[in-house]
Amino acid sequence: MQEVREELQVRDEEGALLPDFVYAVETALDQSDSRRLRALAADLREADLADLLEHLRQEERAALIEVLGPEFSAGTLSELEEAVRDQVIEALPNEQVAEAVRELESDDAVYLLEDLDESEQSDILAKLPEIERVALERSLDYPEDSAGRLMQTEFIAVPPFWSVGQTIDYMREEDDLPNSFSELFVVDPAHHVIGTVPLDILLRTKRPILIEAITDEDVNVISVDVDQEEVAREFERYDLISAPVVDENQRMIGVITVDDIVEVIQEEAEEDIHRLGGVGHESITDTVLRTTRNRFVWLLVNLGTAILASIVIGLFDATIEQKVALAILMPIVASMGGNAGTQTMTVAVRALATRDLGAANAGRIITREMLVGLLNGLLFAAIMGAVAYVWFGSDQLGFVIAAAMVINMLVAGLAGILIPLGLDALDIDPAIASSVFVTTVTDVIGFFAFLGLAALWLF
């Protein structure tokens, strides 16, 4: 077994799975070579095995998991992308899924269960011990993407009147502790959070000292119904390692740790990028039909905006017929405006998502983007005016495209900032709708300015 693993590296220097390794696994699957499959995959770390499963076809995933049997780690399921995770869980018997849920921390267990059919979810939960089942059912009752779904219910809470020695003895003797933790939570008899005690402070303090003497009362408490994106901002703003989660009565019911937040940050950033491109929650592991369905709606909207731009061009068809150079140069104006607007929009949407852009500084940022658009417009106007003059030998044509470039770049800068701000003010996610509106504005204004100026100056 060891010899096979030494022959093939799993990842390249940039962290991607090596094609030779994936091909070796696929070949072993095609040949039903169970011995070689176990040699290749049994000792993989959970994240590596998850990546491997995502590279395989659906039927190959089921075959590999069947070969691995008990050597298939439950933690691998929580590392999989949502679409692949659901396919893998469907291929596993509910008894094996229930066993996997028992091995995982509560937050990872919730991640596995939350998207299953209600009947399948109930069947798996019924196979768990009552205490674990009740805790998971309570977490699943909280809104999706909330702190309640993100938290794990395993944590260490101690009263302030315990001594350091009592606390250490408790942790040594208690079996039901989190798999890993970096601080203890100090609570009153009603389970209200008083503060925290980092492990390094606890271990450096003499045994007779009371917990209240080393408690840090400057603690960031998170409400159970807060959105996970707001939780991530709280962790980033205050450099948190973990934070207690409280219910409506301010009683501590869970804890969120920084490893959960890393996943949230990646998920939210990925979601924003996908929305800017109009692809929603698409993943490279999605089926052809699902991917087509996800992309069709926004492509249809884009078709409508393209028709609107074509209508503007149609208003000047006689002008274009008289001077072919206009048709050649026209796409340049629209393209430059579209790219400039997209640059501004991307920065604005991300700043709105991170709360770096708001009412307090909106005026200053709008002015900045307007000036940036104006300066870039003047610079590219000079370049394109000269190009048009050299290309077509017409100083008037050079002046027309230069003036149109200034107008469109200025409008692009304003549209790129004002459209996201306006959508945000209307409680519409700017990441979803901004790109369509910005592109429409820059196309329409670009064509109208260029062809309108041409009609006035050249004919």
Instruction: Determine phi and psi for 287, rounding to 5 degrees.
Output: -75, 165
Domain spans of the chain? Answer: 2-147, 157-257, 288-457
CA–CA distance, 371 with 413 (Å, rounded to integer)? 8
288-457: CATH architecture: Orthogonal Bundle (1.10)
Q: Does domain 2-147 have CATH number 1.25.60.10?
A: yes
Share of residues in the chain with pLDDT > 90 (%): 34
pLDDT in tens, 73-130: 878 888 888 778 888 888 788 888 888 888 888 888 888 888 888 888 888 888 888 8
CA–CA distance, 323 with 177 (Å, rounded to integer)? 79
Q: Which is more confidently placed, 437 or 459?
A: 437
**At residue 424, does pLDDT exceed 80?**
yes
CATH of domain 157-257: 3.10.580.10
Q: Say if CB 415 and CB 341 are below 8 A apart.
A: yes
Taken in order 389, 393, 399, 403, is the CA torsion positive or negative? Answer: negative
Q: Say if CB 243 and CB 221 are below 8 A apart.
A: yes
Band (pLDDT 50/70/90 cuts) for residue 6 is: very low
Radius of gyration, alpha carbons of the chain:
29
CA–CA distance, 324 with 270 (Å, rounded to integer)? 43
Cut 0.85: pTM above it: no
Alpha carbons within 13 A on the beta-carbon side of 338: 17
pLDDT in tens, 263-322: 888 777 777 666 666 656 666 666 677 767 776 776 677 677 778 877 887 787 777 766
Strand order of the β-sheet with 242-246 is 222-223, 242-246, 252-257
Q: Say if CB 266 and CB 282 are below 8 A apart.
A: no
Alpha carbons within 13 A on the beta-carbon side of 357: 25
Tokens of 7: 């022959």
